Amino acid sequence: MIGSFLKKSGHPGQKFFLLTDRNTHEHCLPLLAGSLPVFESEFILEPGEASKSLEEAEKLWQWLLEHEAHRDDLLINLGGGVVSDLGGFAASAYKRGMVYINIPTTLIGQADAAVGGKTGVNLGGGKNQLGSFHHPVAVFIDPKFLETLPEDQMLSGYAELLKCAFLAGDRHWEKVIKARWEKETDLTGLMRTALEVKISYVKKDLTDQGIRKALNFGHTLGHAFESLTMSKYPPGLLHGEAVALGMIGEAFLSWRVTGLCWSKMTEFTGYLRNNFSRPPFTIEDSEEIIRLMMMDKKNSGGAIRFSLLKDSGDPAWDVECEQQFILKAIEFVVKEK
Ligand SMILES: NC(=O)c1ccc[n+]([C@@H]2O[C@H](COP(=O)([O-])OP(=O)(O)OC[C@H]3O[C@@H](n4cnc5c(N)ncnc54)[C@H](O)[C@@H]3O)[C@@H](O)[C@H]2O)c1
- 87-114 pLDDT, tens digit per residue, is 999 999 999 999 999 999 999 999 999 9
Q: What is the mean pLDDT of the chain?
A: 95
Instruction: For residue range 238-288, list pLDDT tens digits in order.
Output: 999 999 999 999 999 999 999 999 999 999 999 999 999 999 999 999 999
The average pLDDT across 36-58 equals 96
Which residues are CB-contacts of 124 (< 8 A; sequence separation ≥ 6)? 295
**Segment (H or E) for 276:** none
Centroid of chain to Cα 249 = 18
CA distances in angstroms from 316 to 13, 135, 260, 267, 290, listed in the order given:
48, 26, 11, 20, 21
Q: What pTM, to 2 d.p., does this model score?
A: 0.95
Residue nearest to atom 44 of ligand 1 (CA): 113
Q: Which of 199, 191, 248 is nearest to 222 (CA)?
A: 248
234: left (phi > 0), else alpha (psi -120 to 50), else beta? beta
pLDDT of residue 10: 84
Residue burial 106-118, b: 16+ Cβ < 10 Å; e: rest: bbbbbbbbbbbbb
The average pLDDT across 19-27 equals 98
Whether ligand 1 lies within 6 angstroms of the CB of 88 is answered as no
Report d(CA 318, CA 170) in Å as an integer: 23
Report d(CA 62, CA 327) in Å as an integer: 44
The average pLDDT across 26-39 equals 94
Helix ranges, 141-187 (H): 151-168, 170-177
Residue nearest to atom 6 of ligand 1 (CA): 113
The average pLDDT across 142-160 equals 96
pLDDT for residue 167 is more than 70 = yes
Whether ligand 1 lies within 6 angstroms of the CB of 305 is answered as no
Whether ligand 1 lies within 6 angstroms of the CB of 19 is answered as no
pLDDT for residue 185 is more than 80 = no
Report d(CA 296, CA 253) in Å as an integer: 17
